[in-house]
Amino acid sequence: MTNWLQHPSKYFVTSVIYIILFACLVFFAFGDYLTLAGYVLTILLIIFPQYLYSRSPRVRKNISQNLIDVLQLVIAFASFTNLLGSLYLYKLSPDCQYDLLIHFLNPILIFTVTPIWVIIFQQHFFRHIHLVFTLIGNFILVIFGSFLWEFYESLIDSLFTAATMFGQIGEVYLDTLSDLLADFAGGLVASLLVWKYFYRYLLNNTVKQNNHDN
């Protein structure tokens, strides 16, 4: 119990991995192989940051273990909310806005962390880090990531008419615009949070240098 209190994020990530593994067995038993493949990839995605950190000296030089833990926590939470949608909540009722809520909340979490790539990019190419450039670069990631995800969902639904991946049942998205608006709104909130609260934290847990502007 003491260890759980000291490292709740790690236990949450581990718990999510086991829950998804169990769900994969259920998907396999019911012959839903597309969803099974999707969540096997999800498990690999959750594990990947720690694997990369343990294998790459360059990653260890640029990103702290603390931030790797945060990355895993964000990916695990987003994966868990998608799993809940796949199992029930997307189809709860016609009036249920769970999908829209997730399209708002997950980008807040994800795009609060993605500025690390913009920070590392600036350090590598310019040796100087600017807050404004970090925010602009991160919002470009918001736009690119949102459109890429919606394209991926639409492609999956178009190619596999019997798919149930991520809570959909073979339908081409009719709510793509509302999903994109929710993604953008979440990304905007994330940018505001980075600006007001998390910029210094991200700097302290990425590149170890002093060439940055506040």
What local confidence, expressed as pLDDT, does residue 84 receive? 83
Q: What distance in Å separates the CA atoms of residue 163 and residue 36, rounded to the nearest whole number?
A: 11
Is pTM beyond 0.85? Reply is no
Average pLDDT, the chain: 81
Q: What distance in Å separates the CA atoms of residue 85 and residue 42, rounded to the nearest whole number?
A: 15
Arithmetic mean of pLDDT, 8-20: 90
User: Residue 49 above 60 pLDDT?
Assistant: yes
User: Residue 129 above 80 pLDDT?
Assistant: yes
pLDDT digit string, tens, across residues 65-109: 999 999 999 999 998 988 887 776 556 655 567 878 888 999 999
pLDDT digit string, tens, across residues 135-192: 999 999 998 888 887 776 666 555 554 444 444 444 444 567 788 888 899 999 999 9
What ranges do the domains of the chain cover? 2-204
Q: Which residues contact 179 (CB under 8 A, 6 or more apart)?
A: 99, 100, 103, 150, 173
Q: What distance in Å separates the CA atoms of residue 186 and residue 143, rounded to the nearest whole number?
A: 11
**Side-chain-facing half-sphere of 108: CA atoms under 13 Å:** 13
